[in-house]
Amino acid sequence: MDLLPLLVIGGVLGVIYTLLSEGFSLIYGVGGILNGAYGALYMLTDYIIFAIFIVWKVPVLAAISLSLLAIFFIALLIQKYVVARGKSQLDVLFLTLALAFVVQYGVQYLQCSSAFSGNCAYPAFVPIFVKGSSTILGVSVNNQQLAADVVAIFFLTGLWLFLSRTRYGSAIRAVSQDKDAAELTGINTERTQMLTAGIGALMAGVSSAFLGSYQSVDPTIGWSIITLAFAIVILGGLGSLKGALLASFILAFAQTFVLLFVNTLLSDFVSLSILILVLLIRPQGIFGREVVS
Amino acid sequence: MEEEEKGKAKKEEEKATAPGQNRTFGTEERSADVGARFGLLGKVSFRTARFYLIGVCVIMFALAPVITRNSYYLGTLSTIALYGVLAMSWDILSGYTGYLNFGIAFSFGVGGYAAALVGVHTALPPSMGIFLGGLASVLFGFIVGAPSLRLRGHFFILVTLLVPLATAALLQVLLVDGSIFGVNQIVTNQAYTYEASVAVFALTGVVLYVVSNSNIGLIFRAIRENEIAAEASGIHTGSYKILAFSISGFFAGMAGALYVYANGVASPTMFGILLSAPPVFMAALGGMGTIAGPILGAFLLEGSLDFFRINIISDARLLIAAVLLFVVLLFFPEGIWGAVSSWGQRRRRHKKS
């Protein structure tokens, strides 16, 4: 059994999973809510990139930047006009899930309507924007996935510095620890939550832009993404950024392991079963229930 | 009658949630010995708006073939009945006990596969297949439900979300395309499918209405409001949760069996998230914890989807349903039934004073 491919492929995947799930975890930690629209934001990013790229014929990187900007503001609006309206966790979960369906069917409608492509079967795609592949420890990896890892590591380091060194970061941590106390000290909790929602959406968006080139983009991809992010966040311990990091790698390595050494068909089943078993045996996750730190 | 009952339940809820009051314990004790003194069913009143709604729907379904023989409309109606059954069975577990099941597709799928196996390998009549589908769903539901019902909140949501996905993934490995084919030979008569759907719908509506308005339903609601308090007052909440899960699974399994007989194939899409989600939203749209609400939701979401198919706006029908759901939840988080009944209460109170 050759362990090098496992390490390389699992590691590459784990970094992207981390980026994907930390956004969800951050939103949970600060808002105390499960954002059902997280997957929809992921999906929407790909479609905005596609639309800008096809309609305006701008370079891919410009399209991605515009799309990330758009998704950031969309997330702010959702936080302000949808999430903030919900009275309980349950309301928010249902509202955001309903919103995800609105977005999904809206995109589907646009895609099929004559204004856009006029053909439901015409697939959306995100072009590969970092070409070629390189060999690491004898394992061939696409350059775009490596670029994704580099960007993700920068992003996560930046996030960590932002949370630990800046005033806004302290505000975010304060709100995640105790919202009422944070409000008493003069923190604008509403704005802090909006900022968090925006950052979270950006993280979904960045991973979406990089992963979009490798999967067929359709309006339903958000559901598998949100399931993945949700699973990782629960596995790591709700709202724990450290836990989500660890859980991302565990899941990535487990999936790669089954894929490489056991059976391609079994991959999904094994990773799902591991998750279910962990939940049943240790429901509080690896790092228990702690706040963002 | 219903108002009285609701008023009583509401008072009890208010007491139960009022912090730092010694009377809380008194109330819990009383709600516990309701079960012991009056039996599990207690007195169930049938003269309520909720029961009338169920009755009207059943009569409408039953009369529809007399009015129209258009197979398209009948097919749509039986789909609505099917989703109505699913939404109601989701409601008896999640709406009443507060354990949100995001994977009713598991019960649905297990019921469907069991019915397909029965249909293909035995000579039993389809009605037995439907019944056995329900039973299989209860059995597998018990294996999955018993350990997962110990989890609460988001953890329960995640387990229920993942279990059907894992099952679908396993089926892909075990069977060709993960499907059971050849079921289309069992029921070829569309009229039979329609009648069976209506019968299952009626059965589900009546049974779930009785359960939800009995003392069992009261205990389910006690679990939703405060599980620890319910436990402290001597209710073995574990068994009641499993009971709710089993009842829910039984009817969802029957719906799955019907679906398989109507469509002629049992495929892994039955375990998909796009089958788990609609019942949740139908219940949320109509009003959770009301049994009648989910039927309304099924009509609005599924009916508006299907009847518009022949209209100019047919392309946007899914979008319209989603927007409707979103707008209703945004302004009426309790759903339609909750909004209407609280509006009615407010008006009555206004009249009195």
Confidence of residue B307 (pLDDT cuts 50, 70, 90): low
Per-residue pLDDT tens for B239-249? 899 999 999 99
> Using an 8 Å Cβ cutoff, are B141 and B130 in contact?
no
Residue where the block lists tokens 């009301």: B290
Check residue B176 and give its pLDDT: 75
Average pLDDT over residues B168-193: 78
Is residue A185 assigned to a domain? Answer: yes
What was the pLDDT predicted at A271?
A: 76
Q: Which CATH number fits the domain that encloses residue A172? A: 1.10.3470
Asked whether residue A123 is domain-assigned, the answer is no
Of all helices (H) and strands (E), which one includes residue B140?
A: helix B126-148
Verify whether the Cβ–Cβ distance B322 to A101 is below 8 Å: yes
Q: What pTM does this model have? A: 0.83
Interface probe, candidates A94, A119, A240, chain B, greatest B C-beta count within 10 A: A94
Q: What is the pLDDT of residues A105-137, one digit of tens each?
A: 888 887 776 555 555 656 677 777 767 677 777
A286 is a domain residue = no
A220 touches chain B (CB under 8 A): yes
| Residue A16 pLDDT | 87
Q: Mean pLDDT over all residues of chain A?
A: 81
Tens digits of residue pLDDT in A133-158: 777 777 777 777 788 888 888 888 88
Using pLDDT thresholds of 50, 70 and 90, give the confidence band for residue A1. low
A257 falls within a domain:
yes
Q: How many domains is chain A partitioned into structurally? A: 1
Alpha helices in chain A, H assignment, sequence order: 3-31, 38-51, 60-81, 89-112, 143-165, 167-177, 179-184, 189-211, 221-236, 241-257, 267-281
B169 vs A contacts (CB less than 8 Å): 266, 268-269, 272
Question: How far, in Å, CA of A25 to CA of A239, rounded?
Answer: 5
* Residue A287 lies inside a defined structural domain of this protein: no
Q: Provide the domain limits for residue A139.
A: 3-118+135-281
Asked whether residue A256 is domain-assigned, the answer is yes
- Name the interface residues of B facing A (CB cutoff 8 Å): 100, 147-148, 150-151, 154-155, 157-159, 161-163, 165-166, 169-170, 172-173, 273-274, 277, 280-281, 284, 315-316, 318-319, 321-323, 325-326, 329-330, 333
Q: Does A262 touch chain B (CB under 8 A)?
A: no
Which of A6-20, B18-32, B303-317 ranks highest by mean pLDDT?
A6-20
Q: Is the ipTM of this complex over 0.90?
A: no
Cβ contact (<8 Å) for B151 and A97? no
| Nearest residue of B to residue A100, measured between CA atoms | B322
**Over the stretch B322-340, which tens digit does the pLDDT of each residue have?**
888 888 888 888 888 888 8
Q: Are B326 and A90 inside 8 Å of each other by CB?
A: no
DSSP category for residue B125: -
Interchain proximity B322–A104, CB inside 8 Å: yes
- Across the interface, whether the CB atoms of B326 and A102 are under 8 A apart is answered yes
Q: What residues contact B8, with CB distance under 8 A and at least 6 apart?
A: none
